[in-house]
Amino acid sequence: IALYIWQKGEGPHLTPVPEFCTDDVNSYKVDHCATTFSNFLPLCGEPVNKEDVFVAVKTCRKFHGDRIPVVKQTWEREAALIEYYSDFADVSIPTIDLGVPNTDRGHCGKTFAILERFLNHTSPRTPWLVVVDDDTLISIFRLQKLLSCYDPNEPVFLGERYGYGLGTGGYSYITGGGGMVFSRTAVQKLLASKCRCYSMDAPDDMVLGMCFSGLGIPITHSPLFHQARPMDYPKDYLSHQIPVSFHKHWNIDPVKVYFTWLAPSTEESHNGKKVGYNREDL
């Protein structure tokens, strides 16, 4: 096809399409690239205030000792409003026992309890809820900028989109590990409906996708949220992003991943020292 279009130099010139380029707009290769791509974080106005974002961290007793310390070493300091929800009340963290037993499979019961708590026990002036796992790494600072592009008075359900049975009348859903962002309006509409977990250990993210689909509320996809680790994505794909989140601690140093990919710069002051990491290794 390329040779046919080229016609030995006599064919039409290629049209620049930013999404197709594998070189950054500042690269010296740009003059020889059919397309270019600009790295930027969406910003549609002033970033939302950190006090407008309530962060709910899902955890359980067996992970209090290894996962929660990572959150506290990395992104917790960015959050003005944050609570840890568990199956055990640990005052040293502190965690809140929702009265929902931990399950090995899905966490639908726990997530719906978090949604109920957000609606009934937080300030009605707090427009945004973010639900993350205890092994999610996220930049609240970048999320504040991204949320400037959305109206919390609308039912917004934002994150990394997956699909279930889309070819046979299925539904889209937001993957939980990358972080699920709800406007208060979306939570209100969801809980006002009769859509609930079909079992306490059902996959929460898929049930939420099914519920919102039934309500006619579309999910909003952002490629800046990630269900997996940086090493699980092509380097060219990530080179065109300023990511908001990654997920999972398997075979990585999650603190290094945070300061390399998600901190405000790739060289971040940590414990009084400047630390920088090579993304190629992460």
**pLDDT tens digits, one per residue of 182-201:** 999 999 999 999 899 999 99
Assess if residue 73 is contained within a domain. Answer: yes
Q: In this model, does residue 106 exceed pLDDT 80?
A: no
Assess if residue 281 is contained within a domain. Answer: no
Residue 33 binned pLDDT confidence (cut-offs 50, 70, 90): low
User: Is the domain of 9 the same as that of 73?
Assistant: no
Q: What is the pLDDT of residue 37?
A: 53
Q: What is the pLDDT of residue 274?
A: 39
Where does a domain end: 221, 241, 261? Answer: 221
Q: In this model, does residue 254 exceed pLDDT 60?
A: yes
The alpha carbon of 149 is separated from its chain's Cα centroid by a whole number of angstroms, namely: 15
User: Is the domain of 63 the same as that of 23?
Assistant: no
Q: What is the pLDDT of residue 272?
A: 37
Where does a domain end: 221, 249, 264? Answer: 221
User: Is the domain of 191 the same as that of 99?
Assistant: yes
User: Is the domain of 17 the same as that of 119?
Assistant: no
Q: How far apart are alpha carbons 87 and 54 in whole angstroms?
A: 20
User: Is the domain of 7 the same as that of 145?
Assistant: no
Average pLDDT over every residue of 112-139? 97
User: Is the domain of 192 the same as that of 75?
Assistant: yes
Q: In this model, does residue 278 exceed pLDDT 80?
A: no
Is residue 145 within 8 A of residue 42, CB to CB? The reply is yes
Residues spanned by the domain of 23: 1-37
Average pLDDT over every residue of 89-114? 91
Q: How far apart are alpha carbons 187 and 182 in whole angstroms?
A: 7
In the structure encoding, which two tokens stand for residue 243, read together? 């990511």
Q: What is the pLDDT of residue 269?
A: 37
User: Is the domain of 150 the same as that of 172?
Assistant: yes
3-state SS, residue 257: helix
Assess if residue 241 is contained within a domain. Answer: no
**Range with the poorest average pLDDT among 32-41, 139-148, 229-238, 263-272:** 263-272
Assess if residue 259 is contained within a domain. Answer: no
Assess if residue 247 is contained within a domain. Answer: no
Upper half-sphere CA count for residue 173 (Cβ side, 13 Å): 19
Average pLDDT over every residue of 258-274? 62
Considering only residues 53 and 102, tell me which one the structure prediction assigns the higher pLDDT: 53
3-state SS, residue 17: coil
User: Is the domain of 217 the same as that of 82?
Assistant: yes
Q: In this model, does residue 47 exceed pLDDT 90?
A: yes
* Contacts of residue 90, Cβ cutoff 8 Å, sequence gap at least 6: 61, 64
Assess if residue 18 is contained within a domain. Answer: yes
Residue pLDDT, tens place only, 199-230: 999 999 999 999 999 999 999 999 999 999 99
Residue pLDDT, tens place only, 59-69: 999 999 999 99
Structural domain count of the chain: 2
CATH number for the domain spanning 155: value is 3.90.550.50
Q: What is the pLDDT of residue 32?
A: 61
In the structure encoding, which two tokens stand for residue 122, read together? 């937080």
Average pLDDT over every residue of 156-181? 95
Residue type, position 180, single letter: M
User: Is the domain of 11 the same as that of 91?
Assistant: no
| Residue 26, beta-bridge partner list | none
Assess if residue 155 is contained within a domain. Answer: yes
Is residue 247 within 8 A of residue 134, CB to CB? The reply is no
How many degrees, rounded to 5, is the angle at CA 185 between CA 181 and CA 71?
25
254 membership: H or E segment, kind and range: helix 254-257
* Contacts of residue 41, Cβ cutoff 8 Å, sequence gap at least 6: 142, 145, 146, 224, 242
Where does a domain end: 169, 192, 221? Answer: 221
The whole-chain average pLDDT of the chain stands at 88
Q: Over pLDDT 70: what percentage of the chain?
A: 85
Average pLDDT over every residue of 47-58? 97
Q: What is the pLDDT of residue 244?
A: 97
User: Is the domain of 12 the same as that of 109?
Assistant: no
User: Is the domain of 56 the same as that of 195?
Assistant: yes
Assess if residue 93 is contained within a domain. Answer: yes
Handedness of CA 222, 226, 231, 233 (dihedral sign): negative
Average pLDDT over every residue of 262-272? 54
Q: Over pLDDT 90: what percentage of the chain?
A: 70
A 10 A CB-CB count for 276 gives: 11
